[in-house]
Amino acid sequence: MSDDILVEVRDLKVHFPIRRGVIFDRTVGHVKAVDGVDLRIPRGKTYGLVGESGCGKSTLGRALLQLNPPTSGEVSFDGVELTTLPAGKLRTMRRRMQMIFQDPMSSLDPRQNVESILTEGLQTHGIGTDRDDRRRIIGETLDKVGLPRWALSRYPHEFSGGQRQRIGIARALVLGPELIVADEPVSALDVSIQAQVVNLLDELQETLGLTYLVIAHDLAVVRHISDTVGVMYLGALVEEAPADRLYNEPLHPYTRALMSAVPVPDPDVEDRRERILLSGDLPSPANPPSGCRFHTRCPWAQPTRCADERPVLRDIGGSRVACHFAEPIASGELRPHQVKTQLTRPAGEGEEPHSVSAPSEPGSYV
Amino acid sequence: MALLEVEDLSVTFARRGQRTVHAVDGVSFSVDAGEVVGLVGESGCGKSVTSLAIMGLLPKQPGLAVGGKAVFDGTDLLQLDDRSRRDIRGRDIAMIFQDPLSSLNPVIPIGLQVTEVLTRHRGMKGAAAEKEAAELLDRVGIPDPRRRLKEYPHQLSGGMRQRALIAMAVACQPRLLIADEPTTALDVTIQAQILELLKGLVRDSDTALLMITHDLGVVAGMCDTVNVLYAGRVVETARRRPLFREPRHPYTVGLLGSVPRLDAGRGERLNAIPGSVRDVLPWPDGCAFAPRCERRVDACVGEPPALVLAHHGRSYRCVNPAPVAGYAPGDDVRAVVPTQAQPGSVPAQAVPDDPPTVPGLGPAPREEESA
């Protein structure tokens, strides 16, 4: 199985500069959206990426497709290194890797009808010999995603949310890709529609042998469609495991807290379960905590190592976990303790920090 | 006597040249003192409009009509004049909204916004009000509350803003708290914090909570009684456990089958509800769910189904409900109440979103609209 890896990411970093100043544009720091991620996706499998907003999961997905240029690191797709590929070659590679976006309304051009949306990619990549041939390809794609043929002459606003997402999926599928990066594919949809799209993605994978990278904040959705799940926190993977194992035996404290926070639609389960409540919010990725990034909120944080040594992903019985104390926590040797809430400032909102009245705690501002 | 008794509430929006939209169509439910009641449904089912109508927060505009009753502690909220409604709002009934950033005033410090409630309803002023405000912020788990009072909403994170909003809502120890999707805009770990906070507040102060949400998981963990809404009508009402264990209305069954569960295995097919509300036009005269329903029979079309009162305080609007163990079909029916819903009314769920306006190319606004 290891020789059939479609995508391999090695030490990928995406840093966005924070710029200040009007005349002299200077860089005062970096938002480390993705800070050293390694992952591999086997062909025909689904890799689920979960994490809370701002953890860098979308940036990782975009960097993988080279939509955001990575700061450093390597991305190889079917043995081809993408980060150093010339633009023209990269464009031809794009046919094999497509993206499905979260909000189908804002990712589809309101002034293009469905046929035009679907033809554009075909023309760019020179697929199909003439108009009739392209029509045939498009028609087949519409059947695959369960849209009627009359949809071709309609515009995106004439469809419901679920149908729009099907158009977005058809747009990705029409080129016959091998890898699909789906960024929050169902989070804008209602529950009953969500299930239809999740089922559709499942069916397409079975019939077409697609490889998925599914990025979502909803753990239940990710659990449902993924073979392997990676959990991100502040730009790095904290745990990666086969889906069943991750959900049955979460090892990283953050994964445990995340699992326990997801509501389950079953009163018996809800009443029985033990909640691990995290205190405070996600720290700013521009100024991440030293050592283990989770130590400021971790109920199991220890005075040694956690604050000054960044844990690397290591293998523990089939999972990869970035925690110094994963084993004693799993065995119950270490007990959780109370964590004092630290105030986090929202990033990218409101005024510049230095123009706000005196900061209450040094370093607490972005 | 229930604390809040909503009877045949209806909200209609008349549109020029088109059929009137029934956003809420004969909705009835009740909230007892200290009880947590859930209103669950998908977007456009009328759950938010219901809460806004109860609070008297719907804009006064021609074409918008509110009918029915919302009796709170003996007074019909819908008949009150603005002044007496303002006395009740914030003191006896308080509301928490989905997006804390747009419900807090961005140019006024948090402290002033919290003390405003205290001044208006409890007559507190100056240092006393400030002390009370700090205590409120402390109670909802905001660290270093004294300093936070001087800060503006943008300086707080989403979770902290929602906490500040909750502090304002519980400032006067209201008897009823209406929470409209209080955690939808928040991350899951923050959602858990806020839900735990709400649970604690309700338990400690005997406040009743009307929880409006689309998330069945949230409902399963919090609510005593659940009302499921579809297309502006309450289709099923039941206590929490019976509802999840033995859903009767096919829509409830479908909704529960659609949700991927954290404790289920990989690759199990979800039982999605076919179609969507928007596909169903012209709108049917009978049961609004009939076009998507797997248990549809001939009796479903024609007129809206009557309300069936069943065992254990459960009720549903369905002529062919899912069977339950221990009862032969129809055996558990206690009474049938004729429906107040309008046959063939168009729910808000079925109204397409406005097409996007393309600069320079859209149709010119008609005169009466721009005026």
In tens digits, chain A (366 residues) has pLDDT values of 455 899 999 999 999 988 887 777 788 888 899 999 999 999 999 999 999 888 899 999 999 999 999 999 999 999 999 999 999 999 999 999 999 988 777 889 999 999 999 999 999 999 888 889 999 999 999 999 989 888 899 998 888 888 899 999 999 999 999 999 999 998 888 888 889 999 999 999 999 999 999 999 888 899 999 999 999 999 999 999 999 999 889 999 999 999 988 888 888 888 888 888 888 788 888 888 999 999 999 999 998 889 999 999 999 988 999 999 999 998 888 888 877 776 666 654 433 333 333 333 333 332
CA distances from A264 to A221, B99, B197, B256 (A): 12, 23, 18, 11
Q: A154, A204, A224, A338: which to substitute to probe chain B, counting the most B Cβ within 10 Å?
A: A224
Q: Is there a contact between B355 and A351 if contact means CB atoms under 8 Å apart?
A: no
Q: Of A231, A272, A225, A273, nearest to A251 (Cα)?
A: A231
Percent of chain B at pLDDT above 90?
45
Spatial contact of B181 and B212, defined as CB atoms under 8 Å apart: yes
Residue B94's pLDDT is: 94
Spatial contact of B29 and B39, defined as CB atoms under 8 Å apart: yes
CB atoms within 10 A of CB B141: 20
Q: Is there a contact between B43 and A190 if contact means CB atoms under 8 Å apart?
A: yes
Q: Does B331 touch chain A (CB under 8 A)?
A: no
Task: Compute CA A105 distance to the chain's CA centroid, rounded to the nearest angstrom.
Answer: 20
Q: Does A160 touch chain B (CB under 8 A)?
A: yes
Strand order across the B75-76 sheet:
B21-31, B4-13, B64-72, B75-76
**Residue B353 is nearest to which of A157, A202, A346, comparing CB atoms?**
A157
Q: Is the ipTM of this complex over 0.85?
A: no
End-to-end CA distance of chain A: 44
Residues in Cβ contact with A245 at an 8 Å cutoff, skipping those fewer than 6 apart: A318, A319
Q: Does B184 touch chain A (CB under 8 A)?
A: no
**Confidence tier at B334 by pLDDT (50, 70, 90):** confident
Residue A80 distance to chain B (closest CA, Å): 31
Residue A324 distance to chain B (closest CA, Å): 22
Which residue type, as a one-letter code, is found at position A200? Answer: L
How many domains, in total, are found in chain A?
1
Domain membership flag for residue A350? no
Q: Of B32, B72, B35, B33, nearest to B51 (Cα)?
A: B72
Question: Which carries the bigger pLDDT value, residue B272 or residue B79?
Answer: B79
Q: CATH top-level class for B1-92+175-230?
A: alpha beta
For residues B221 and B196, give the distance between their C-alpha atoms in angstroms, rounded to a whole number. 10
Which residue type, as a one-letter code, is found at position A221? Answer: V
Q: Which chain B residues are Cβ-neighbours of A157 within 8 angstroms?
A: 352-353, 355-356
Q: Is there a contact between A195 and B155 if contact means CB atoms under 8 Å apart?
A: no
Spatial contact of B286 and B343, defined as CB atoms under 8 Å apart: yes
Q: Which chain A residues are Cβ-neighbours of B150 within 8 angstroms?
A: 357
Q: At what angle do helices A191-208 and B250-258 cross, to 10 degrees?
A: 50
**Confidence tier at B279 by pLDDT (50, 70, 90):** low
Residue A92 distance to chain B (closest CA, Å): 32
pLDDT in tens, A231-252: 999 999 999 999 999 988 999 9
CB atoms within 10 A of CB B11: 23
**Residue B157 is nearest to which of A257, A344, A356, comparing CB atoms?**
A344
Nearest residue of chain B to residue A264 (CA atoms): B217
Backbone angles phi, psi at B196, to 5 degrees: -60, -40
Strand partners, A215: A49, A183
Q: Is there a contact between A196 and B160 if contact means CB atoms under 8 Å apart?
A: no
Q: Is there a contact between B220 and A269 if contact means CB atoms under 8 Å apart?
A: yes
Q: Is there a contact between B191 and A195 if contact means CB atoms under 8 Å apart?
A: no
Domain membership flag for residue A139? yes
Residue B365's pLDDT is: 41
Spatial contact of B313 and B240, defined as CB atoms under 8 Å apart: no
Residues 206-235 of A with CB under 8 A from B: 217-221, 223-227
CA distances from A313 to A60, A291, A333 (A): 17, 14, 21
For residues B237 and B39, give the distance between their C-alpha atoms in angstroms, rounded to a whole number. 9
**Residue B157 is nearest to which of A226, A266, A346, comparing CB atoms?**
A346
Q: What is the mean pLDDT of residues B241-254?
A: 92
Instruction: Provide the domain limits for residue A166.
Output: 5-331
Nearest residue of chain A to residue B187 (CA atoms): A52
Q: Of A79, A196, A321, nearest to B275 (Cα)?
A: A196
Can you list the alpha helix ranges (DSSP code H) found in chain A?
57-64, 87-93, 104-107, 114-124, 131-145, 161-173, 191-208, 219-225, 243-248, 253-261, 267-272, 326-331
Look up the pTM and report it.
0.85
Q: A147, A191, A197, A199: which to substitute to probe chain B, counting the most B Cβ within 10 Å?
A: A191
Nearest residue of chain A to residue B145 (CA atoms): A343
Domain membership flag for residue A46? yes
**Residue B220 is nearest to which of A193, A227, A263, comparing CB atoms?**
A263
Domain at A184, CATH number: 3.40.50.300
Domain membership flag for residue A272? yes
Q: Is there a contact between A260 and B266 if contact means CB atoms under 8 Å apart?
A: no
The string of DSSP codes covering B76-144 is: EGGG--HHHHHHHBTTTEEEE-S-HHHHS-TTS-HHHHHHHHHHHHH---HHHHHHHHHHHHHHTT-SS
Q: Does B157 touch chain A (CB under 8 A)?
A: yes
For residues B245 and B164, give the distance between their C-alpha atoms in angstroms, rounded to a whole number. 36
Residue B344's pLDDT is: 64
CB atoms within 10 A of CB A132: 8
